[in-house]
Amino acid sequence: MADGRIEQRLRLRAEPPLSKATVLVRGGPDTQDKLARHARRTARAWSLDGQPLLGVSVFAVLDISLDELLSARFATYRMIHLPAAARLRDRGFELLPTGLRPHYTVRLRRADSVELDELLAALGPPVANVQYARSTIWREEGRDVPRRHHRRPQ
Amino acid sequence: MYRVDITADLNDEDETGYLWTFLDEARDPGQITPGALVVAGDEDIAAVCQVVDLAPAGDGTIVHLRLLPGLVDDYRQLVERALAS
């Protein structure tokens, strides 16, 4: 933990790169200001190869269905971004397999307005989350608490 | 519009599988103790969370939060039901 930041290089999951068509999920809607704030928070806590790691979180649709992931992890978001992995990579954003599968960090290089605009474009417009409010503590009709989303590969 | 106890990106997660943010992003850091229930997020998106632990990172202290199911409004309704006479 040089300079107190948590070095991520040796913590990255040893997994093959995501396929181009893999769908990524990020709760939104995002703005340039929000992305900048979140990228700075990541850089404050994490480093990569000894340098502050500017990045924002996304989840890949792996091992479980999109609906299961949305219900388990994104039920508080009315709107979500659903880019394919290729949309980010084609714009030069690296997808780092950080944390537990299926979490990834979209790496930024500068997090300046140009790059943040590019990231917003890569994330695409927010869409309605069909699983919004589907994960409840208890309601009159009753629903189960969802399973965790960190399911191991089958 | 929410007034959260601690600012966080609810998308964030680390190797613990928990949501995380910095302690100094809390309105009252003294309230952020393991087991405490808090509202985390920002003015647009918020969720009820339970504080799991605190750990040093970077130039501050990271707070791990367990994201609890349901909307903030669900909890309000739950409390209203419980307190209804």
Task: Give pTM, 2 decimals.
Answer: 0.91
Q: Does A59 touch chain B (CB under 8 A)?
A: yes
CB within 8 Å: A100 and B17:
yes
Quick one: average pLDDT of A98-116?
97
Average pLDDT, rounded, for chain A: 90
CB within 8 Å: A136 and B70:
yes
Q: Does A19 touch chain B (CB under 8 A)?
A: no
Q: For B39-52, what is each residue's pLDDT tens digit?
A: 999 999 999 999 99
Q: For A82-103, what is each residue's pLDDT tens digit?
A: 999 999 999 999 999 999 999 9
Cα atoms in the 13 Å half-sphere on the side-chain side of A4:
12
Domains for chain B: give ranges and CATH numbers: 6-83 (2.40.240)
What's the pLDDT band for B84 if we cut at 50, 70, 90? confident
Query: Count H helices, E strands: chain B?
Result: 1, 5
- Least Cα distance to B21 among A57, A42, A23, A32 occurs for A42
CB within 8 Å: A135 and B58:
no
Closest chain A residue to B61, measured at CA: A45
- Least Cα distance to A107 among A38, A20, A61, A60 occurs for A38
